Amino acid sequence: MQYSKLGKTGITVSRICLGCMSYGDKKWRDWVLTMDEARDHFAAAVESGINFYDTANVYSVGASEEVTGRWLGEMAKRDEIVVATKVHGPMASGLNRAGLSRKNILEACDASLRRLKMDFIDLYQIHRWDYTTPIEETLEALDSLVRAGKVRYLGASSMAAWQFAKALAIQKENGWHRFISMQNHYNLVYREEEREMNPLCIDNGVGLIPWSPLARGFLAGNRDKGGTGPTARAKTDDFAKNMYFREYDFEVLSVVEQIAKERSVTPSQIACAWILQAPGVSAPIIGATKLAHLKEAIAAVDVKLTADEVAALEKPYRPHPILGHEQPRPSRMVSSRAT
């Protein structure tokens, strides 16, 4: 395993982060691996040197955190691993059981700690932007968690670049602990983040830890144009079907498969190698429901692409609409005509 700093901090993380959405309760998604089924994945990750693990309270409505905490508690040394989780999504019915209010953040953090069976969270992330809560309230609450010793670092996930810039500015203005990572939607068939968010993060020393670096399995090369594939997740993943599977996405995939064949590696490893060399990326978040796929991702760390291969992989890309997070809608349109 190889390692890097997480943004402009002193914390060291493995170049692969194990995404733990795949582990939890089949009542949430039928492709999720249960507690016992997930054991071998965590054993392989720890043995390989992965020290970075990402989950969220909303994954399997808390069960993912329980699985993550159980196996890391048994297999890893707490002071050698970096555990990340997230807050925002609804955990139960009720007016205050979701979002980024101070009330929900403080209560959700305590609940995550109980499920993880840990004394602190290394990286606590806001899962999405909350349009119903003042951002100042959210940022002050997050800062208080760091000062209370319950959280070590703060991170954010998909949002508009202007929103993230605003949040960073407010944190600096108030002397609050700042976001040190951005978990954004970024892969070979969705590169819109290169326009604004990635340059913003690089300029501010914020580490990129992209989600869906393999486009929810699309870049594995085993999906047909109808969106189905060989795994249980591929057969039922409507989210992926709505995100990818455009004609020009398959043009990118064709180059991935060609280079993979020339290198005698898998398409997934080429896609992973590409994002590992992308500027600003500390560690892509890799999720897997099959142990072999996890081992492929671990081996991809050693695949180094040439400049010509990178250029060939990037050439077919075409612009996409914003995918992966809600876009703000202005309350009124401002006329461009002078009055």
Does the pLDDT at position 226 exceed 80? no
Residue pLDDT, tens place only, 260-274: 999 999 999 999 999
d(CA 247, CA 245): 6
Does the pLDDT at position 233 exceed 90? no
234 falls within a domain: no
309 falls within a domain: no
pLDDT band at 334 (very low <50, low <70, confident <90, very high): very low
The predicted structure's pLDDT at residue 23: 98
Does the pLDDT at position 333 exceed 50? no
320 falls within a domain: no
β strands within the chain, DSSP E: 3-5, 12-14, 17-19, 52-54, 82-87, 121-126, 151-157, 179-183, 207-208, 285-286
pTM over 0.95: no
120 falls within a domain: yes
Asked if 59 is an active-site residue, the reply is yes
Higher per-residue pLDDT: 233 or 56: 56
199 falls within a domain: yes
Q: What is the CATH number of the domain that holds 60?
A: 3.20.20.100
DSSP three-state, residue 169: helix
Q: How many domains does the chain have?
A: 1
d(CA 339, CA 333): 15
| DSSP-assigned letters across all residues of 242-255 | HHS--HHHHHHHHH
For residues 339 and 311, the answer to whether their CB atoms sit within 8 Å is: no
Q: Which one is catalytic: 3, 23, 53, 59?
A: 59
d(CA 101, CA 180): 21
Residue pLDDT, tens place only, 83-122: 999 999 999 988 898 999 999 999 999 999 999 999 999 9
233 falls within a domain: no
Q: Which amino acid is at 219?
A: L
List of residues 6+ apart from 302 with CB closer than 8 A:
2
Domain containing residue 152: 3-220+271-304
239 falls within a domain: no
d(CA 6, CA 13): 6
Phi, psi of 154 (to 5 degrees): -115, 140
243 falls within a domain: no
